[in-house]
Structure 1
Amino acid sequence: MGGRTKQSDKVLPLSPIQQSPIPTVADQVFDELQKRILTLELPPNTKISETEVATKMGVSRQPVREAFKRLSKLGFLDIRPQSGTKVSLISESAVLRARFIRIALEIQTCQTACNTVTSENIKSLRSLINAQREAVESNNRVLFHALDDKFHQEICIVAGVGYVWDIIRDNKAHMDRIRMLSLDQTSQRLALDEHIQMIDAIEAQNEDAASQAISKHLNRIFILIKEIKSGNHNWFTDNAI
């Protein structure tokens, strides 16, 4: 009796996973398709197939299938076995849901950052601002969009809640397409000015000013929806996603 091994004493036959920063084929397919959807090279309602993507990108169907599933989960693709896969329409309700989530989380994040920020953090954030300014001058909206995301993510990290950005990222697909549609140089400059206001408030450790700055920044989506929907009504759906 005493020689028997207890169930709880057994060691699971698992080995450490060797993690690598090198993106997988599925990651690369995902990134390329997401970029083309965001920049409207693949506009809403565009039909897209695993076979065609695999052939054109020179990969097998498996990584394409994985990328499709990820894009569908984020709301970029509408996968229907009977009728095929299409780039999803932009859901206005999903855009507004993402705005609500972002404001609720990022107000708290900015307030927290006011109490945790260091001079090195400010230096890093100002560096991102300079990079954004260069993107505006060259009218590189794809780069500006990426730097915009990096800026908001960095504030989450400064506040010690980097995981909050994961929640935001998983809910903002439709909001991203609205933002990309609106990113002419004027809109980029306006976003840049708002980012500077956010940094100034955080550096001054002024929680009220930081809250007002992020609210103003994210609430501008209401104006953008109205402007873009008026010229591209067939890209939108009123159905909740």
Structure 2
Amino acid sequence: MGNTHILMMGDAPNQAAPKPLPKLARATQPSVADQVFDLLQHRILTLDLPPGTKLSEGEVAGQMGVSRQPVREAFKRLAAQGFLLIRPQRSTTVSLISEAAVLRARFIRTALETHTFRLACTTLTSADIAALRALIDAQKTAITAQDRALFHALDDQFHREVCIRSGVGYAWDLIHDSKAHMDRIRMLSLNSQSQQHALREHIAILDAIEQGNPDAAARAMDSHLSRITTLIAEVKAVNHGWFTDAADLG
């Protein structure tokens, strides 16, 4: 390198300091594409848009009062998740339910949540347990009110709260992304009997956590998530045309 000199801080004390970078304006609301995506995904997962429903970029844009571009972006994201089937120049339809995708989601949830619920046995406080008991009480109220949507939301909140209160909230982020394929099955099977069954399982899980028994908590959690295989068979028997195993996601 010979006489090459690398200028270090301090070599030129009179040199002006670099101009500070401007602060970025923080977005206070989701982008239009995010809002379109969230709404369409919610409609698909709650079966307001059942499997096989045809969607049009133009019609969706018109109904929502937005341009086609954010709708196109939302369609691409939903297709990447396996919830839309886009045939260029032909049609876009809500994807049929893939049993394989549901079982993969179950596998991911089981791996993450059995470990998380073991951890909960040594990390949750009495106040945490009380808060989770309150969620279970709210689920009982939702069953009495025959409010399936509320029960479903409280079910998710129970699992999310255990993750957060165990100090691994990021685990729920991963679970949330993968569980969507299970949600359509859950919505199709949420009758009173199924809700009562899920409620009993939540009580058993929380009892094991309160007793500080990680093996029992993990077993109860595994049993809770494994029930999806029974639900698939029950739902498929009634709604066979909504299922496919052809589109293996991976």
**Structure with the greater alpha carbon radius of gyration:** 2
Query: In the alignment, is residue 125 of structure 1 matched against residue 132 of structure 2?
Result: yes
The Cα of 1:63 is off from its aligned counterpart by 2.8
Deviation at 1:19, TM superposition (A): 4.6
What does 1:36-55 correspond to in 2, within 5 Å?
A: 36-55=43-62
Q: Secondary structure at the match of 1:78?
A: strand
Determine the structure 2 residue equivalent to 1:15.
23
CA distance in 1, matches of 2:33, 2:78: 11
**Gapped regions of structure 1 (runs ≥ 5):** none
Are residues 219 and 31 of structure 1, via their aligned partners in 2, closer, same or farther at CA, if it must alter by over 3 Å?
Answer: same
The CA distance in 1 between the partners of 2:19 and 2:144, in whole Å, is 59
Q: Where do 1:1-241 residues align within 5 Å?
A: 4=7, 13=21, 15-16=23-24, 18-20=26-28, 22-239=29-246, 240-241=248-249
Contact 1:107–1:211, Cα closer than 8 Å, also in 2: yes
Secondary structure of 1:171's counterpart equals helix
Question: In the TM superposition, what is the alpha-carbon distance from 1:116 to its structure 2 partner?
Answer: 0.7
> How far did residue 124 of structure 1 move?
2.0
Query: Secondary structure in 2 aligned to 1:44?
Result: coil
Secondary structure at the residue paired with 1:79?
strand
Deviation per CA, 1:147-178, whole angstroms, max 9, x where unpaired? Answer: 21111111111221111111112112221111
1:76–1:173: 8 Å Cα contact kept in structure 2? Answer: no
Q: Deviations over 1:170-227 (max 9, x none)?
A: 1122211111100011111111111111111111111011011111110101111111
Distance 1:87 1:14, change over 3 A: farther
Give the distance between the partners of 1:219 and 1:17, measured in 2 at CA: 45
Matched residues in 2 for 1:30 and 1:126: separation? 33
User: How many percent of aligned residue pairs carry the same amino acid?
Assistant: 60
Q: CA RMSD in A?
A: 2.3
SS at match of 1:40: coil
- For residues 15 and 154 of structure 1, the distance between their equivalents in structure 2, rounded to whole angstroms, comes to 34
Q: Distance in 2 between matches of 1:116 and 1:61?
A: 48
- Verify the 8 A CA contact 1:106 1:214 in the aligned structure 2: yes
The 8 Å contact of residues 75 and 173 in structure 1, kept in 2 or not, is answered as: no
- Can you list the C-alpha shifts for 1:73-119, whole angstroms capped at 9, x where unaligned? 33221223243211011111111111111111110000011111012
Q: Which amino acid aligns with 2:187?
A: M
In 2: Cα distance, 1:71 partner to 1:209 partner: 37
TM-score between the two structures when normalised by the length of structure 2 = 0.86
1:11 and 1:78 mapped to 2: Cα distance?
49
| CA distance in structure 2 between the aligned counterparts of 1:11 and 1:111, rounded to whole angstroms | 51
> What does the per-residue CA deviation read over 1:114-157, in whole Å, with 9 as the maximum and x for residues that have no partner?
11101221122122212222221111111211221111111111
For normalisation by structure 1, the TM-score amounts to: 0.89
